[in-house]
Amino acid sequence: MEKSYSHNPVLSSEVIDFLNPAPGQTIVDATIGGAGHSEQILQRIIPGGMLIGIDRDEETLRLASERLRPFEGSFKLINKNFKYLKEILKDLGVNKANGIIFDLGISSIQMEAWQRGFSIKNDGPLDMRMDRSQTLTAKDLINRLRETELSDIIRDFGEERFHRRIAKRIVEERRHKEISTTAELSDVILRSLPYSHNKYKIHPATRTFQAIRIKVNDELGSIQEALNALPETLEKGGRCCIISFHSLEDRIAKNTFKEFKARGLFNILTKKPVAAKEVEVISNPRSRSAKLRAVERM
């Protein structure tokens, strides 16, 4: 856990450039994770500023609190889903923020904790909950959904071409024995594919794991709901940055921002998504698939 906690945030200099945080401002880090972005933001909004850090993962918030201890009194941490952004600000007595950042997807803290069940490489229970207080787990979906439902999820959220084969094999395997670990699910996926996994650039189970994780946590629905609230949660001149890691997330951001622009609500600051520079990709491979989009409230 400590190793993940010390990781550098993705596209940090670009985020700071677009957000342009200044002393006295209120900035929301809607996915605070290890607090890498928040730490850099706090350095720029004190004195007088306030950072509101949101995360649905209580364990992650504890690590963020440790990292931000030198800024005690200048931040507030909220253990909720960022889809409740509007309600969170209202509860805190904040009318609107000067800036908001979303760093989407799973954090390295969660990925490297085997007991959370997100990782293909580290065997663990088939969990995948970002909020461990919710009851629905990946194990529930894998062992209860009908074959057609599994196939649709793997296709729609994982963009996996072999979704039917994978769903069929999952249903066949669970008739004999419940699938309860990440290693068991990965093995089932590998045995359902027509080619050797050595021919794949990424692990062949990656897209299916992504699909199940997105479904368990209703990630796409949460993103859409949070972005829909931006006109009511950002001050005029306030900016929003969103970092996505796969096409489904980026598509939601792109289409929502285009709609806001057409309605005269926002200016789009990034004509094309901003990617990490080569030097960052070398030092932080996670940044390879990152795309940053930014808008400004009119």
What residue ranges do the domains of the chain occupy?
A: 2-109+220-297, 114-218
Write the pLDDT tens digit of every residue in 35-53: 999 999 999 999 999 999 9
C-alpha–C-alpha distance, residues 247 and 160, integer Å: 13
* pLDDT averaged over every residue in the chain: 91
Torsion angle of C-alpha atoms 135, 114, 209, 168, degrees rounded to 10 = -80
Is the domain spanning 2-109+220-297 CATH 2.170.190.11? The answer is no
- pTM, entire model: 0.90
Taking CA atoms, 44 is separated from 50, 57, 66, 156, 297, in Å, by 10, 26, 19, 40, 21
pLDDT in tens, 232-270: 999 999 999 999 999 999 999 999 999 999 999 999 999
pLDDT of residue 108: 67
Kindly tell me if the per-residue pLDDT of 197 is higher than 60. no
Identify the pLDDT of residue 5.
44
Q: Is the pLDDT of residue 1 over 50?
A: no
For 120-161, the pLDDT digits (tens) are 888 999 999 988 889 999 999 999 999 999 999 999 999 999
Distances (CA, A) of 254 to 155, 182, 197, 251, 287: 21, 33, 33, 5, 19
Give residue 280's pLDDT band: very low, low, confident or very high (50, 70, 90). Answer: confident
Instruction: Please tell me the CATH code under which domain 114-218 is placed.
Output: 1.10.150.170
pLDDT of residue 131: 85
Structure confidence at residue 4 (pLDDT): 38
How far does Cα 112 stand from its chain's mean position?
Answer: 15
Cα separation, 182 vs 139, in Å, equals: 9
